[in-house]
Chains A and B, each alone.
Chain A
C-alpha cells in the first residue's frame, strides 16, 4: 500500500503550512512588484511629496456658514451613501464646530468670529498616519505623494484604523451602502458592506492631472491645494504669509490639513 491515512494527513498539513509559509516569506523578502493604484496613473498625473490643503476659514465663513457646495460635490462624485441613522453615517468631508474640531484648543474665550462656527473637516492625510501603522493587511497605506489611500478589496473590516484615527475620519460600512446612494456616478466605484472608507484626496483626479473635487467646487476659492514639500507651491506661499492651525498636532501625526485664521 502507498500511504496510510495518518501519513497522508501529516503530509497534507505539512504542504499547507509550507505553502502559506513560503508565500509569507516571499512577501516579506520581496514585496509585491505592483503597488495598488499604479495602473491608473496617466502621464499628466500631478506629482508631489505630500499633498496638502489649506482652508481659508475666514473666506469660507464669510461666504456662508450653511454652504455645503464642497461637501455635496464630494458626495455626488464618490457615491457616498446617505444614512438616516447617525450611527451608520459615512462622512468623507463634513462640517463641525470649532470646539469639536479643535478639542485641544477648546478656548472658551475665543473671539466671536470663530466661536461655535463650522469648520470643514476631512481625512488629514497625516505624514505619520496611525491608521496605516495599525492596519494588519496594508489595506490602508501611504502613497509616495502622501495620500493615505486604501485598497477596499483587501480590507478585512477589523476597524483597527477607526480606533486609531484621532480625527474621527474613518467610516465603516455597517450596512450595504448601495441602496443609500442618492446620485449615482457611474465613473466612480461603489463600496460594499463590511469595509472601511474615507476621503482619498481625489487620487483618481490627481492621477489624471486634475485637482480634488472640493477644491474646484468651492465658489470663493477658500480651499488651496498644493505640495507641502515644494516651497513655491500655492500652499507653502500662503502658509508663509498667514497664521494657520492644524488639528491635534501634539499627537505627532503631522496632519496635512491647514486652517487659516
Chain B
C-alpha cells in the first residue's frame, strides 16, 4: 500500500515538493525559536497564548468533526457515506497530528514533554487532553488503516474494528469537550468562563470540519476524478454543516445576550474588545467582524436549496464557514480571552513572521499527511480487488 505514495505524475511531485519546502521553512524557523526562545513570537506576559494554541483548538475541532461522516454511516447505515468515512478518518488523523504539533511548538521546554507521563496529574485538564488526543489518533489510525487494507484486498473490513469504530463516536466528542474544559475552567478569564464553551466548540467543529472535508474532496475530484460520494451525499453533508452552523451562531447570540443584558462589565469587556474595540484598541475587530460576516454568508448560501446544489456556491459557502471558524476559534477566541488582562489593561497581540512560518509549516505537514493518505485510499478504492 505504501508504495502508492511514491507513484505519481508530475503535478503530484510538484505539490509534494511545494509542501516539503513550506515544511522546511517552518522547521528552520522552529529551530530558530528553539535556540532563541518563544520571545520570537508576538506572545507576551499578558497574552501568554497566541496563534499556536488557537490553531491547536481549531484542529482539535476539525479532528472531532470526523464524527459527522461516521455517525450517518455507523449508526444510520447511510449508504452514500460508506466510502466517505475513510476520508473523514484520514482528515481526522492529519488534524490530530497537527493539533499535537501545535502544542509541541508552543511549549517552552519541548524536550521535557514526557514529564506529563512521568508525573501524571489527574487534576490538570491537559492530562486528559493528552490521553484523549492520542487515543483518538490511535482509533482513527486503526479504523482508517484497516478499512483501506480491506478495500485493497476486496474483502469486508474485519469485524473486530466495529467496536473500535463505535468507541470513536463518544471519543470524538470527548476530545473537543476536554479542549473546551482547558479554557472554561479558569477563574481568571471571563470570556472563556462559560458553560457554553464545550457545546459551542462542538457546534463549531461540526460545521467547519465537514466544510473543510468537502473543499478537500472537491479538489481531489478535480485532480484525480475520484469522488467518494455523489451529489446527494454532498447535499447531506452540506445540510449537516448548515444545522451545526446555525446552532453555533445561536450560541454566539446567547453569549452576547448574557453578557450585555446582565451588564456585568467584566463579561462585556472582552466581547467589546473583539467586536467593537475597547479604550481605542481594536486590532481584533476587523478579524472578528470578518469571521461573523463569513459565518452569516455561509449560512445564507447553504439555506437556499438551489444555491446549495450549485457546486461553485457550495464551495464558497464551505470556504466561508471554514474561514469563520479559522478566524474565531483559530485566532480570536484565544487571544480575546486575554484581553483585558487581570489588571484591566490591554496588551494587543500580533503574530510575528517566524511564528506564522512555523504555523504554515504545521499546516503543510497536515496537507502532506492528507495527500499521502488520500493517495493510498483512492488507490485502494479504485484499483483494489473489489468485486
Contact = CB atoms under 8 A, between A and B. Distances in A.
B38 A87 contact: no
Interface string B89-133: 000000000000001001111101101111111111111001000
Of A156, A176, A196, chain B has the most CB atoms within 10 Å of the CB of: A156
Of B48, B117, B185, chain A has the most CB atoms within 10 Å of the CB of: B48
Contacts of B39: 88, 174-175, 193
Nearest to A165: B188
B343 A23 contact: no
Given A156-B115, A168-B341, 6 more contacts: A130-B186, A137-B115, A157-B107, A172-B108, A173-B37, A174-B44
A106 B108 contact: no
B298 to A, nearest CB: 30
B43 interface: yes
A45 interface: no
15 contacts: A87-B347, A100-B344, A103-B342, A130-B186, A130-B188, A137-B119, A138-B121, A156-B113, A160-B124, A165-B188, A168-B341, A172-B108, A173-B108, A194-B107, A195-B108
A109 B100 CA distance: 50
Contacts of B182: 160
Interface in B1-48: 36-39, 41-46, 48
B126 A167 contact: no
Interface in A82-96: 86-91, 96
A173 B103 CA distance: 18
Contact of A159 (B108, B116, B341): B108
B125 A166 contact: no
A133 B344 contact: no
B127 A156 contact: no
In the A-B complex, the 10 residue pairs with the closest CB atoms: A157-B108, A194-B108, A174-B39, A87-B44, A166-B188, A136-B126, A193-B37, A175-B39, A100-B343, A162-B48
Given A156-B109, A166-B342, A168-B46, A175 B36 contact: yes
Interface string A166-187: 1110011111100000000000
Nearest to A172: B48
B343 A134 contact: no
B345 A100 contact: yes
A99 interface: yes
B218 interface: no
Interface string A69-89: 000000000000000001111
B346 to A, nearest CB: 12
A106 B121 CA distance: 37
Contacts of B122: 28
A252 interface: yes
Contact of A134 (B37, B107, B186): B186
B308 interface: no
Contacts of A100: 343-345
Contact of A194 (B37, B103, B130, B343): B37
Given A27-B118, A28-B120, A156 B44 contact: no
Given A134-B186, A173-B108, A24 B37 contact: no
Of B44, B122, B130, B338, chain A has the most CB atoms within 10 Å of the CB of: B44
Interface string A11-49: 000000000100110011000000000000000000000
A238 interface: no
A163 B189 contact: yes
B187 A194 contact: no
Of B46, B49, B109, B110, chain A has the most CB atoms within 10 Å of the CB of: B109
Contacts of A195: 108-109
A27 B120 contact: yes
A115 to B, nearest CB: 15
Contacts of A20: 117
B109 A155 contact: yes
A89 B48 CA distance: 12
Contact of B45 (A28, A88, A156, A164): A88
Interface in A222-261: 251-253
Given A106-B344, A136-B124, A174-B43, A23 B112 contact: no
Contact of B108 (A87, A130, A156): A156
Of A27, A86, A162, A163, chain B has the most CB atoms within 10 Å of the CB of: A163
A23 B187 contact: no
Given A27-B120, A168-B341, A134 B44 contact: no
A49 B373 CA distance: 58
